[in-house]
Amino acid sequence: MIDISKLTQKDLCFMFDHTNLKAYASTADIMQLCDEAVQYGFRMVAINPLHTALCRELLRGTDVHVGPCLSFPLGQNTIEEKCTETLLAISQGADEVDYVTNITAVKDGRWDYVEREMRTIADICRAAGVLTKVIFENCYLEKSEIEKLAKIALRAKPDFIKTSTGFGTGGATVEDVALMKQTVGDEVEVKAAGGIRDWKTCKAMIEAGASRIGCSAGMQILEGFRAEKGL
């Protein structure tokens, strides 16, 4: 767990996945996203797969990771399709991939399928030195399903489990982040995403156990952090 009292501005910025997943994002918007990520020292840009190669070129030589979001936002591709997406993203320069779990399989209780999907994608990424984040889309799940998914992650070993796409009926909640963290402990990290737009909310997510924050409001959150710290 991260000690908020010891969190520096640099530490906070390095937790942010700076995000633009809008269907109408222009090339200029993505270039601006990358510029901002470098300027503020954000950890990653979260983008649609179309922009992977562009972001790789723009961010070459920086510490900012390129993170396309796959099978997004519905998660309803087959395992084979998701693997193809993953391999293509890696070939185009992805450092991290966020993918949406098959929510239908979860609701149907097809846990073997869900675990096979998670394990296969995590293994592909691990072999390539790329981080994996599994998006649960908690707004559609029961608490028991969130816990079951987190327990599967303990076996499949993705790098992160993530609350939301930001496109569902709800985003991250402190309760869900806490449940996910309590289930996986230090074995897997937790990313909170969806509806995080101010420092108060971000702080609550970190205190609940999130070590990565997905948002498009990183600069505004940073302003709130600086105001609280008197910086």
CA distance 195 to 163: 11
| 3-state SS, residue 215 | strand
- Active-site pick, 133, 148, 162, 181: 162
CA distance 13 to 22: 22
Q: Which residues contact 144 (CB under 8 A, 6 or more apart)?
A: none
- Active-site pick, 17, 95, 98, 159: 98
6 is catalytic: no
3 is catalytic: no
Apex 196 CA angle, 149 and 191, nearest 5: 30
- Phi/psi region, residue 66 (left: phi>0; alpha: psi -120 to 50; beta: rest), is beta
| 3-state SS, residue 119 | helix
| 3-state SS, residue 231 | coil
Q: Which residues contact 227 (CB under 8 A, 6 or more apart)?
A: 199
Residue 8: burial class (beta carbons within 10 Å; 0-12, 13-18, 19+):
exposed
The token pair at 181 is 């963290």
CA distance 104 to 31: 35
82 is catalytic: no
Q: Which residues are catalytic?
A: 98, 162, 191
